[in-house]
Structure 1
Amino acid sequence: MDITKLQRVIIDGLEDVKAQDIKVFNTTHLTSLFDRVIVASGTSNRQTKALANSVREFVKEAGGHIVSTEGEDVGEWVLVDCGDCVVHIMQPALRQYYNLEEIWGDKPVKVKLSGGSAFGGARVTADEDEEDDVDEAPARKTTARKAPAKTAGAKTAAKKAAPRKTAAKSGDAPAKKAPARKTAGTAAKTAAPRKTPARKTTRSAG
């Protein structure tokens, strides 16, 4: 399925169960495993599970394929792998703590929202969908946070991990200057002059 259509179908599925604060991010420059990350909030375990189920149904009805679903046993963080698009449905406290927007979100995708906002939380139609990323979105330095032990697998870990930064080449580091050696003449000049002892005078006998 075309990525534009897939993200639209997923957003429709999330909105059908009233997901909150939906955000869409382009991740093609960060990983080859998927092209989009969609993050949404559910207010309870029951709602996060219902949101994940709604996403699966909408994608399947549109002819898409669901690779896997993880985290439904607890419901605090449910991950739905739709192939080219990964959906993270999280409760607000967990979403704030792991802050996936900071890890994956340096290229938000413009989508027209029913609430009037430019990013996430609304039904998107084919004519309204925008594929352009936000211009000049600054990349933020982040520290990779540990994924919860409840989710496992190399592919899942890659979906939740922060992109690695390449270390600077050793040739780019400025060469340290060797300390200048003092010459014998300089050492002689800097040596403290020796003091001559004062001569004792003998008083004449009165």
Structure 2
Amino acid sequence: MKRPRKPKIAPDRLEQLVAAARTSLEDDKAEDILVLDVTGRSDFTDRMIIATGQVERQLQAMAVHLEEALEKAGLRLRRNQIQASPDWVLIDAGDLVIHLFRPEARVTYALERMWGPESPSPEGAAGA
């Protein structure tokens, strides 16, 4: 069952949240931070941030600091919007979804290939 999509936030507001998240990740020494614009390619979000942390403890700290940074930017997350495992943390902030991976998990899931600019467009997939 598909979850209903919340109303979109204003583009400038989304960019503020992306900037707050990026700054938080840079401060926590996240590696390979990638911001993907998936507008029109995804029906569940408009921006996706993917970043790498070396160990579980770093991932957890990055998640806590991201939650604090987004709250300072005016977006309070509910606990169910953060899903965590030892290798991957997912933060669902509606129009912004953040994936924090340990290196091995990032390679395994390869979200850049799935959602990056080189990935097939929805129109291309329909014709396949």
1:90 maps to a residue whose letter is F
User: Who is 1:12 aligned against?
Assistant: 23
CA distance in 2, matches of 1:58, 1:19: 15
8 Å Cα contact 1:43-1:92 kept in structure 2 = yes
Displacement of 1:75: 2.4
Distance 1:61 1:89, change over 3 A: same
Superposed CA RMSD in Å reads: 2.3
Question: What secondary structure, in the 3-state scheme, does the structure 1 residue paired with 2:82 have?
Answer: strand
Runs ≥4 residues deviating over 4 A: none
Deviations 1:3-52 (CA, angstroms, capped at 9, x unpaired) = 11010000111122111110000001212321100000000000001111
* Bigger proportion of residues as strand: 2
User: Who is 1:140 aligned against?
Assistant: 119
User: Who is 1:70 aligned against?
Assistant: 83
Q: How many residues align?
A: 115
User: Who is 1:38 aligned against?
Assistant: 49
Q: What are the ranges of 5 or more consecutive residues in structure 2 without an aligned counterpart?
A: 1-8
Distance 1:163 1:20, change over 3 A: farther
User: Who is 1:23 aligned against?
Assistant: 34
* Percentage of pairs with the same residue: 33
Say which of 155, 165, 170 aligns to 2:125. 165
* Bigger proportion of residues as helix: 2
User: Who is 1:171 aligned against?
Assistant: none
2:28 maps to a residue whose letter is V
Larger Rg: 1
Higher RCO, 1 or 2 (CA under 8 Å, sep at least 6)? 2
Distance 1:163 1:85, change over 3 A: farther
Distance 1:163 1:77, change over 3 A: farther
Displacement of 1:164: 8.4
Displacement of 1:58: 0.3
CA distance in 1, matches of 2:123, 2:63: 26
Q: What TM-score, normalized by structure 2, do the two folds share?
A: 0.80
Displacement of 1:167: 4.0
User: Who is 1:109 aligned against?
Assistant: none
Q: What are the ranges of 5 or more consecutive residues in structure 1 without an aligned counterpart?
A: 107-138, 142-161, 169-206
2:34 maps to a residue whose letter is K
Displacement of 1:85: 0.5
CA distance in 1, matches of 2:63, 2:123: 26
